[in-house]
Structure 1
């Protein structure tokens, strides 16, 4: 399965339909008083759409990624015009000032942080626009917050929702590789301490509202942190030797896509596909490669047809579909 021009246009149209759609909206906003009771667009003039702040951020990552990969698609000019009007110095200054509020210490931590860095990483690839330069101060602020956070985070958060540590660090680490050597070292050191000795996974996933696999996101992170010679036996000990991958890692069922939490499970299928495809690409001719590839394909096929349909999934699923389709590209 691959990202075709038609599918890229479909994803672009979906994202264009929600990144500037203010309502319905779910705020992550701590109020210190009546003066803080403000609309989403007043609080966040850049990332006010897509139902919530983090989905708007990765909706924009989807749009910019598609614009780079398919510069001649019909939606590319609309993406450019909307991005030029959105990523202005004035609007981004408001987003940056929001982080200075004492009440904003935990704002979007760590999921939105990781996606913001990943968006900046993508925006900087567009040499014909100033999007990357304009987003950089906001990205740098989140980079500092990541370093501070890891210094106080004693234990990894291994749930399959927004608080998952591994997923955010995968995105943050890719941003830091060429921009922040100190953060990169902090991520690697912290990750090895948190996951390096993990063995024989037997967690109770899937949870009923999860969109991430705790073990597969940790595996993807460690595939970036560990040398190949160390990662292969680590991964084998974690999910292959005890039969978890073969026995339990199968596509999940979504009973009600109009329920925002239940709809998370489509994301679980897509994010599992992403992790498995990335890991499979690293393992090469490893003996379990066919099993990993089969599981990745099954998860992707189970969810790809449900990226659009109900706004509870439509405001975010295309990003995860895109991650999976671009894996090992």
Structure 2
């Protein structure tokens, strides 16, 4: 297996050199005519590439699921460790802020969805209802109870690290929301946000090996969201920690076997999540050098990636593959939009988004309680890039 013969010190020198060159001679360029022709050529070979356009009408439909599930207490998967029989309580008693949407992390990112929808579509018909729900659920008292739950001895690892990551993504979305009520919501959420940041800072130095699964435990996914939060809030300590640990975990990785993906229950791509994290923590030229060893074929115009096909959308685990299509699309949109030379990835991302997007509106609760979030996140990555 090939290894890049570059030490961390050399990477720093390359990054510094590249930055100096960029500062003096390189500016952001528009997509070239050649890039456009590449997109058109590849799009013509891929089916289902009609771009998903999130209109106000579609947003009105999509927002119904998080609105409904945030106050739906059952069915519920608590994932609870019991210290005694006194811990046997209803979900709403245990988690007054995040009790709906089947499980804690899904409730957290459903709240993220509401904020994201409101930021993009402030004229939604149910905008006031959405704001009232956010204000009620994310009250100071409710968040204090969530903090108490996490501080219990048996709950130190609760929702590690997937739920932690989504809590920071919610905090980031509120932090960047230019609405008067966002100030109050951020202040209310802050004690839990601080606790989760502390949890990351305590846990990551102790983690000797990354977790490379395609489900909740994936280390790169959680670190990516936490890094986004650190950048948005100018938390240099957390940002530096994640950058250092990402390099510890992934810098020497070669030939990621993306052809082995997906596994049957994946909703994350282990290869692409790692790629996305390293894209954020490495300078551009260093990242591109790393990528040539990590996933060399992705640089080729004929790079292909088949969508994940769902056989039964009433099966809560099999429907994970719709989430995989959305999370893959998010990574590919981000890379294609950030750096020149990756325009050929956009049609692949469009196909992944389109394949599963039409199913979100008609999904059963097993999928609908969380897939709206992933569809919205993928769409945001395309729009924002």
TM-score by length of 1: 0.95
Structure 1 ranges of 4+ moved more than 6 A: 242-245
Q: Secondary structure at the match of 1:327?
A: helix
1:40 is displaced (CA, Å) by 0.6
1:295 aligned onto 2:360: no
1:77 is displaced (CA, Å) by 0.9
Please name the residue that 1:212 is paired with: 268
Please name the residue that 2:94 is paired with: 43
- Determine the C-alpha separation between the residues in 2 that align with 1:98 and 1:246: 50
1:84 aligned onto 2:135: yes
Q: CA 1:246–1:27 in 2, change beyond 3 Å: closer, same or farther? A: farther
1:195 aligned onto 2:250: yes
Please name the residue that 2:122 is paired with: 71
Matches within 5 A, 1:1-329: 1=51, 2-126=53-177, 127-129=179-181, 130-177=184-231, 178-203=233-258, 204-241=260-297, 249-284=305-340, 286=341, 288-290=342-344, 292-308=345-361, 309-328=363-382, 329=384
Task: Answer whether contact 1:121 1:132 (CA < 8 A) is retained.
Answer: no
1:120 is displaced (CA, Å) by 0.8
Q: Secondary structure at the match of 1:17?
A: helix
- Determine the C-alpha separation between the residues in 2 that align with 1:6 and 1:219: 34
Task: Answer whether contact 2:297 2:303 (CA < 8 A) is retained.
Answer: no
1:307 is displaced (CA, Å) by 1.3
TM-score by length of 2: 0.82
Q: CA 1:246–1:105 in 2, change beyond 3 Å: closer, same or farther? A: farther
Task: Answer whether contact 2:140 2:188 (CA < 8 A) is retained.
Answer: yes
- Determine the C-alpha separation between the residues in 2 that align with 1:183 and 1:122: 18
Task: Answer whether contact 1:26 1:51 (CA < 8 A) is retained.
Answer: yes
1:139 is displaced (CA, Å) by 0.5
Range moving further from structure 2, 228-237 or 190-199: 228-237
Range moving further from structure 2, 162-171 or 118-127: 118-127
Range moving further from structure 2, 234-243 or 189-198: 234-243
- Determine the C-alpha separation between the residues in 1 that align with 2:237 and 2:298: 36
Q: CA RMSD in A?
A: 1.6
1:179 is displaced (CA, Å) by 4.0
Q: Deviations over 1:212-232 (max 9, x none)?
A: 000101111111100011112
1:201 is displaced (CA, Å) by 1.3
1:19 is displaced (CA, Å) by 1.1
Q: Deviations over 1:124-174 (max 9, x none)?
A: 233411111111110110000001110111111010000001111111111
Range moving further from structure 2, 196-205 or 135-144: 196-205
- Determine the C-alpha separation between the residues in 1 that align with 2:81 and 2:330: 33
Range moving further from structure 2, 242-251 or 62-71: 242-251
- Determine the C-alpha separation between the residues in 1 that align with 2:291 and 2:329: 16
Structure 2: gaps spanning 5 or more residues: 1-50
